[in-house]
Amino acid sequence: MKALVYDGVETMGYREVAEPEPRAGEHLIKVEAVGICGSDMHAYLGHDARRPAPLILGHEAAGIIQGGPRDGEQVTVNPLVSCGACKACTSGRENLCPERQIISMPPREGAFAQYISMPEPNLVTVPQGIPLVRAALAEPLAVSWHAARLALAALHPSVERRALVLGGGAIGLAAALALRAMNVPEVTVVEPNDARRAFLRDRCGQEVAAKADGPWPIVIDAVGYAGTRAVASAHAEPGGVIAHVGLGEDTGGLDVRRMTLQEITFIGTYTYTAQDFRDTAQAIFEGRLGPLDWVETRTLQEGAEAFRELRAGKVAAPKIVLNPWT
């Protein structure tokens, strides 16, 4: 099969590789759509020791089951594989499973390929009529759905439901969409890139700003750099909540003294639970997250160039989805 392989820092190779062999309880999936995530970009830049080269990246996938009793069924893929038996898994917090694995990290190759193999519980049926490009957005949207859900759960009932989202990439846009779907009436996305800000406003219907302003009850950091953490801790109102989902860099930025004196809640959020993933997929199928027509599609063979353009800041669309078969 053909695959796009991370071969080293800022180096991607498109070539023939061995087709995966499903393990017991797994299905072979023909990948029809796979998105490029910010974490893929971190690996591409050599910033993620969890993803050593050579490795097939990509974990935002949807496709068609090949063979078996579910042959031909359209599915979107939850890439987080958990043990199913530990305390985290049995309490519905599979994302905290100590044995968790995710495709695009060893020992599981990713979905920038024509085929992947996934366990049965990780597959969510996609209704007929839902494009698989849209279904592939379930994973990034679930990340933000999880963050929005936790932020709202931590907000004091007396506090006004307004939110500031830092970062206008796919995770930031998804956070804004999730918050709106959860009945937060006022959401503003901060995005410094002029082209992306215009895209968010004109194509995605979002309230946008170049810089943060004013206090906000909820701040979601969808970037995760020291600079955005500094903005988050400066603009969260007293008694407010910061949900941190970005993984840009490890340290720096938080004003811990202000957060302590103003009793600001900080929540680190990682991926999603299995229920979050299913809820997000259902919200997509029902249209509750909007038309989701802000995706740019390219072929898998064009993936290396897509990474170079993302690196150079030349892509206005919040998400590029690759097709391994065109």
Same domain, 16 and 30: yes
Domain that holds residue 207: 141-268
Query: Is there a domain that residue 282 lies in?
Result: no
CATH number of the domain enclosing 19: 3.90.180.10
Same domain, 145 and 252: yes
Q: Say if strands 11-16 and 26-35 run parallel, antiparallel, or are unpaired.
A: unpaired
Query: Is there a domain that residue 306 lies in?
Result: yes
Spell out the residues 6+ positions from residue 190 whose beta carbon is closer than 8 angstroms to its own: 164, 165, 166, 167, 168, 208, 209, 210, 211, 212, 231
Say how many domains are in the chain.
2
pTM more than 0.85: yes
Same domain, 88 and 107: yes
Same domain, 64 and 180: no
Q: How far is CA 206 from CA 26, 33, 145, 304, in A?
A: 40, 25, 17, 30
Same domain, 131 and 157: no
Same domain, 83 and 183: no
Helix (H) or strand (E) holding 92: none
Instruction: Give CA–CA dist 108/259, Å, rounded.
Output: 39
Instruction: Give CA–CA dist 75/122, Å, rounded.
Output: 9
Query: Is there a domain that residue 275 lies in?
Result: no
CATH number of the domain enclosing 208: 3.40.50.720
Query: Is there a domain that residue 53 lies in?
Result: yes
Assigned token pair, 301: 């063979």
Same domain, 151 and 111: no
Assigned token pair, 194: 């002029």
Same domain, 117 and 151: no
Query: Is there a domain that residue 285 lies in?
Result: no
pLDDT tens per residue across span 75-89: 999 999 999 999 999
pLDDT in tens, the chain (326 residues): 999 999 999 999 999 999 999 999 999 999 999 999 988 998 999 988 999 999 999 999 999 999 999 999 999 999 999 999 999 999 999 999 999 999 999 999 999 999 999 999 999 999 999 999 999 999 999 999 999 999 999 999 999 999 999 999 899 999 999 999 999 999 999 999 999 999 999 999 999 999 999 999 999 999 999 999 999 999 999 999 999 998 888 899 999 999 999 999 999 999 999 999 999 999 999 999 999 999 999 999 999 999 999 999 888 888 999 999 98
Same domain, 170 and 60: no
Same domain, 169 and 226: yes
Nearest to 34 by CA among 104, 117, 136: 136
Same domain, 260 and 150: yes
Query: Is there a domain that residue 284 lies in?
Result: no
